[in-house]
Structures are given as structure tokens and as C-alpha cells.
Structure 1
């Protein structure tokens, strides 16, 4: 795999406070990388440093091997980005907006503009005034704008903000297609966990300006330990037995019995011990763990709120 974005020990200090603390990660060609964290964690600050809207205090960022710190223009020419909401001239048509942006870069033809318009699915409405567009259509027009110069890296900050479910799905499908078919590196920041799970190949979790973890989404969600619900008649006794059998496990008492995260091989001995102790067991069920569950698990383990 080729790393198109390399972030190396990047920090940002504002008014004496370290907003970003020694951040390091790579983003590969052909992948959608999710930058995940609660509001205020440092996602937008990091994206602003990648695209050069604010400077780094320490470290460096390389885009297609070019240093943002030393060769900003060369580095950023490989990037298409929407930071927060795409701003358009609402009194112009979508096409006129794209013509306007195309003038900022040499060599963008009208054929290229229409190719990008078709790519984002706006062909039927591109000559309508932007003020008549839905929020989802404006997001797609912003996506078209960021793709005009054939960037190798696409960066979108909260791209599904304010969209309805159909709009969210459209944007998600477009991003996955761009990464797959154009071998682009796509970086998406969000606090919407369900979206990241469906959209991304890998996720990096940021909290309080520090990188907590970077993992493949499937590895992150599907850990060795699974959450099990055991339906019993005596939850207190069942919890006591489990705590003695596996001391490091957190046991939660529920309406039906108990819940705990266990390795599969630990389960038979615990069930056997409960049966011997006259705990009536009515059922054992594996509970599917979502990205949200894992996110809260990881961030709370790191001292999050």
C-alpha cells in the first residue's frame, strides 16, 4: 500500500494550551480513513493543519511525499477538501459555481466539469440555481468542486452533517466509490459512529488532542471478547460467581440477569459453575457490539468522560 498522507508527531499549541498532542498516523491510497472523536477532540484543528489553514507548532505533514511545512503549494495541490460546510454562490447555478472554481486551477475543461458532475449524480440539476438545492445536493456540489483538479487526497470534515438518511447514504456510496475506483485516500471526520462503521476501512480515534487508537473497522468492532447476556433467576449470585471465576471482568446486572464481555472459551466453565451453585439458567445470548459500544469502551479506558 502507498501512504498518500503521513502525519508525523504533529502538535498545535494555541494560547499556551496544547490542542493537538504528538499526532502520528498514515492514510493509504484506496482507503476511506475515519477520523473519529467527540466534538472538541481536535478533528477540525488537525484537518485545518493538513490543508494549511492553520500552522503546526511541531512536527510535519506529508502529502504524496511533499512536506506541508516546506513545500506547501506542491503538497496541497494533491488535496481536495471541504472543511465544515461547502460555501456556494446561491444566486448562481451549480454549473456556474463550478466554472468559477475551475478558473482557479489551470487546465480544467468544460468536459472535465461535466464528468465530475455526472460522478456525483447532479447532471439533471446542475443548471438550476443553488438556492433551490437541498442540503444533500449542496454537499454533492461541494464534493464536485473538491474533485475538479483530480486530487489524490480527499478530506471531508463532517460530510453528512444535517443530511437526511438518503443523503447520507448517497455521500457514503460516492466516497467508497472514489476510494475504490480512483485509488484516492479519503479522510472523513465525524462524531457519527454508525456512519463511520459503514463508510470507513480504518478509523483513528482522537480524544483531547491525542490519538487513542488506529484500527481496521472490522477488527475494532469484532474483538476477541464478546458481550454475553445470561438470563438467570438469581442475578446477584450469578454475578458473584462470574466475578470469582474471571476477576478482571466487569459484570452488569440487568432485568433478565447479567451481562459481561468474555472470551468465548471462558463461558462454559462459568455456566457449569452457575449450574452447580443452583443458579437457574434460562438462556445465553451473544450481544452484537457496535462501533459506538467499542468507542465508548476505548475512550473511557483512556480517561474519557
Structure 2
């Protein structure tokens, strides 16, 4: 199934340097897609190409089937976006700002403005001047502006920058709702990995301009094997036994015992071997990894290969 956004072998060269290198992935309706990468990896450059702020050196980007290169206006008509911070006229009210932006799109009536205002939770403050708004309220007003023309795709670059925990949660809940109830494709770029883990359905990781991986968040975080902490004694005897049975796995020592990547179905057999070898078992528990843990594992391993 092709996505509502299709990045097709896109390359961007600036001053002889390849910033984006043969990037390809799809984003589908009804999902929140997280775009992750270290600083300077090419996230913002890619987003700028998707919305047409900078050109594409080679390859193509299609939005709802229309090419950014050959049918730009038709393609971007399907997109609502906030790249970096939303810019508003602070001397006007939130409502006056939305009326101004509505004039730039066809068919946006008062009813639609009222709908998006309620959607982002600004009904009680929409007629106040923007200069009196908190950062979180300005972010929500920017979100309302991006939604005025009923886009199929919503693109947000660092949407939670500078927000307090309550504001971050509000934005997260709004984006999940838009994907689920409006069947919208939402693309989010952020460095707050804990938030991305709670917000996104899939993630794409970019490093040095290249796509490393695209996976469902849960599958990416879990990896192929689960990691278990085994509280045992004597520790070295247990390490030797695990290494004999699984010579290719890396066993780490902890204050309480050892940590090892194992398959869940192998645990009963391992426990039996421990008992037969007079190794005392005080506890076995799964070590839950976070998106941050896995992100660092993947990007650091790729960096090591690149520098080797």
C-alpha cells in the first residue's frame, strides 16, 4: 500500500555536500510517524523539501499522488505544517490571525474556523491578543492555522519545543486524536524520545542523511530478543554457563547479578541448568528498554561502522 506521502529516492546536495542521501519511505493516513535522528542528521532538510521550502536535487516527493516537483500547488494543498515555531501577528487576536490565514485558502468559512478553535482547545481565549498567549497556546493556535484547510497531511517540526509537561501532553493528545478521528497522516520531528514513544505509531531513523530503519515503535523498542536481569550467585559460574549455551550473546555484570539478551522461551531451560549446577536464583525480571535506549544503540552502532 502506497502512502499519502511518498519519499522516493530523494537526494539533496548543498555546496557539494550530500545532506540527504537516497532517502525513501512512505507515510500512511491514520498514523503518527516519528522522524528521528541526531542533530544535523537531515530531519529539518527533509521536512523543508516535503513542504517545498527548498528544492530536491534528485528523486521525488509525492503527496496524495501529486509530485512536489511537477505539480507543486496541488501537492502542497494537501499539507498543513509548522516548521520550527508558528509565527503569528501578536497585536491581533487569535481569531483575527485565523481569519487572515483563512483568506489564503479557498472555501474556509467561519464554521470551519470555529471547529478548529474548539478542536485545539482555544475557545475561551481565541478573542484575546496573541501577545497575551503562553507558548503552549501559541503552539495550539499554530496547529489550528495548519488545520484550517482540512489537510490530509500534518507536518510538525519540534512541536513541543519549550513547552511544559502539561503543554507537551496536550499537543500529544491532539495529534493522536487527529490521526485516529480525522484519518490524518501526522509527521512529527522531535528530539524528545520519551514523547515520541508515547505519540508515534511508526518511526523512521535518519543518520548522516541516510535512512537507517523504519519500524513500528513497539517492535523497534523490543528488538529481536528481550533483555533479562538475573539475580544469581555465584555470578561468574552463571556467566560461564550462559556463555557455554549461548556463545554469541553479550553478558553484562550488574550490582545484583547479570544482564543478558535472551528469548523468553529459553528461560525455563536456563533455570533448570542453574539449579542442576547449584547456582542460587533470587530473581529473574525483564529489563524494559525505552525508545531512547534503542535509538542510542542503533545510531551508535551505525556511527561505529561508519568510522571503522
Give the structure-2-normalised TM-score: 0.94
Larger displacement relative to structure 2 (275-284 or 254-263): 275-284
Distance 1:239 1:17, change over 3 A: farther
1:144-183 paired onto structure 2 within 5 Å: 144-183=144-183
| Correspondence for 2:35 | 35
1:255-270 paired onto structure 2 within 5 Å: 255-270=255-270
* Secondary structure of residue in 2 paired with 1:7: strand
| Correspondence for 2:203 | 203
| Correspondence for 2:240 | 240
* Secondary structure of residue in 2 paired with 1:22: strand
User: 1:302, CA displacement in angstroms?
Assistant: 2.2
| Correspondence for 1:102 | 102
CA distance in 2, matches of 1:41, 1:237: 44
Larger displacement relative to structure 2 (243-252 or 72-81): 243-252
| Correspondence for 2:51 | 51
Contact kept, 8 Å, 2:2 with 2:26, in 1: the verdict is: no
User: 1:2, CA displacement in angstroms?
Assistant: 5.8
Unaligned runs of 5+ in 2: none
| Correspondence for 1:132 | 132
CA distance in 1, matches of 2:235, 2:169: 42
Larger displacement relative to structure 2 (293-302 or 145-154): 293-302
* Secondary structure of residue in 1 paired with 2:167: helix
CA distance in 1, matches of 2:267, 2:207: 33
1:72-104: CA deviation from partner (whole Å, max 9, x where unpaired)? 111111100000111111121111111121122
Contact kept, 8 Å, 1:236 with 1:253, in 2: the verdict is: no
1:8 aligns with 2:8: yes
CA distance in 1, matches of 2:24, 2:179: 22
Give the structure-1-normalised TM-score: 0.95
CA distance in 1, matches of 2:87, 2:234: 60
Larger displacement relative to structure 2 (262-271 or 139-148): 262-271
User: 1:153, CA displacement in angstroms?
Assistant: 0.7
1:6-41: CA deviation from partner (whole Å, max 9, x where unpaired)? 000011111222111111000111111111122221
Contact kept, 8 Å, 1:10 with 1:24, in 2: the verdict is: yes
* Residues matched between the structures, number: 305
| Correspondence for 1:188 | 188
Distance 1:57 1:202, change over 3 A: same
User: 1:145, CA displacement in angstroms?
Assistant: 0.6
* Secondary structure of residue in 2 paired with 1:123: coil
Q: Tell me the C-alpha RMSD between the 2 structures.
A: 1.7
| Correspondence for 1:114 | 114
User: 1:303, CA displacement in angstroms?
Assistant: 2.8
Unaligned runs of 5+ in 1: none
User: 1:224, CA displacement in angstroms?
Assistant: 4.1
Larger displacement relative to structure 2 (179-188 or 222-231): 222-231
